[in-house]
Chain A
Amino acid sequence: NAGVTQTPKFQVLKTGQSMTLQCAQDMNHNSMYWYRQDPGMGLRLIYYSASEGTTDKGEVPNGYNVSRLNKREFSLRLESAAPSQTSVYFCASGYGTANTEAFFGQGTRLTVV
């Protein structure tokens, strides 16, 4: 059972570099999400996609872009990385109704130096 798969697991970037975090789910979920986790701040929503073809900003979207490539895949792009984007990034997916839980990937630990 793959569930939600994120790549890469670890990444070190220099300030100003760009990169794309990949996420794929095999549960036929409608909704997909990107969160970042920082010490003492819990998880904060960056962007989400309620269904294929739609994306919306979350709580902390600045500095990020997303693409819902198809129903399975939802990527997060950092165009010009900054040290403040050092974090652990989690992708999640769900069935798309308010009463259903989200399923999380194992995370990407990103360090920007």
Chain B
Amino acid sequence: AQSVAQPEDQVNVAEGNPLTVKCTYSVSGNPYLFWYVQYPNRGLQFLLKYITGDNLVKGSYGFEAEFNKSQTSFHLKKPSALVSDSALYFCAVRDANTGTASKLTFGTGTRLQVTL
């Protein structure tokens, strides 16, 4: 079975400071990893994904994520946080061996609060 853990319910950071939202995963095969963002009363928006290749993946709105196979982690980062980044962030995983777009498993979400 595949699973995702987001150990922090909330992350607080001051505007202009770097931010990290943590994610660890478990799959039997190779992982495909995704980050989504959800603004209040909205659906989830895709930020970035890791499929293969470079461990540092760059995505929308200045976000990036680092894939670490040995630590089974895919932490989301941004060098300088903005108040407008405040939202709910979800990490998701799919087993690459499934071959089809079936089970995309989500974490429980991390609320990012950026303050002035």
Kindly state whether residue B44 has any CB partner on chain A within 8 Å. yes
**CB-CB under 8 A for A104 and B44, given A31-B101, A98-B95, A98-B101:** yes
Number of interchain pairs (Cβ within 8 Å):
70
Kindly state whether residue A41 has any CB partner on chain B within 8 Å. yes
Kindly state whether residue B63 has any CB partner on chain A within 8 Å. no
Q: Which of A43-51, A60-68, A70-78, A79-87 forms part of the interface with chain B? A: A43-51
- B residues contacting the other copy or chain, number (CB 8 A): 29
Residue-wise, chain B 41-81 has the 8 Å CB interface mask toward A (1 for contact) of 11111100101000000000000000000000000000000
Residue-wise, chain B 95-116 has the 8 Å CB interface mask toward A (1 for contact) of 1101111111111110000000
A-chain residues with CB within 8 Å of residue B106 when the two chains form the complex: 35, 42-44
A residues with a Cβ closer than 8 A to B are: 4, 30-31, 33, 35, 40-45, 48, 50, 56, 58, 90, 92, 94-107
